Amino acid sequence: MKEYSVSRRRVASVVLKKNLSLHRRLTRIPRQCKAPLRGTQPAMTLRYAFWSFISGTLGILAIHWVTQLVDYPLLIGSFGASTVLLFGATDSPLAQPRNLVGGHLVSAVVAVCIVACFGSTPLAMAVAVGLAIFVMNLTHTTHPPGGATALIGVQAAAGPEYIVVPVLAGALILLVTAIFTNNVVYHRRYPTGAQILSYYNALKGEW
């Protein structure tokens, strides 16, 4: 009788542990569902966000103004994505000058080569984006909007001139605008590489 009683207690204990484990898993589900909706970084200050709005607007307008001046279209969709990085995430490694100019340039070269070899088929567009990522990774120039530059180039069956105009020209205009607008206010710095910052601080000390 004692053995039967002990056995029942053990069974009850095992069942209780399983129920508790199941309960914990079930209570975890709502938190796991909310996880993708949580912010990965704290919200920016109103001052930072407002200046991102001003400088981002100026960046796109600068390309438009030069377009009107030279009477040649320089504005492509991928520059909109670059603007978000340059003026809304200035500290991001993906927003630094090497990545901005290099990423767009590499992607444009990839697009032109793919068009020359395979035309502008859907497969060619897909390969261009994948190859642009591959080359950007190898050359330390990863810049997410570069994927769009490659896609746009193949979609438009771009020729070699695409590399210089609009891609290189537009990227340089954005870079100049970013350097100016991100450094005229004290709460922002661009570029933010360690060597550039040390040079900036040394120059600041001389003044």
Q: What is the domain range of residue 196?
A: 46-206
Same domain flag for 91 and 112: yes
Same domain flag for 130 and 163: yes
Same domain flag for 70 and 167: yes
Same domain flag for 108 and 201: yes
Same domain flag for 122 and 181: yes
Span 16-38, pLDDT tens digits: 455 556 556 656 556 556 555 56
Per-residue pLDDT at 201 exceeds 80 = no
Position 199 confidence tier, pLDDT thresholds 50, 70, 90? very low
Mean pLDDT of the chain: 85
Residue spans of alpha helices (H) in the chain? 2-34, 46-70, 78-88, 97-118, 122-138, 145-155, 161-162, 169-181, 194-206
User: Whole-angstrom Cα distance, residue 12 to residue 91?
Assistant: 57
Span 105-142, pLDDT tens digits: 999 999 999 999 999 999 999 999 999 999 999 999 99
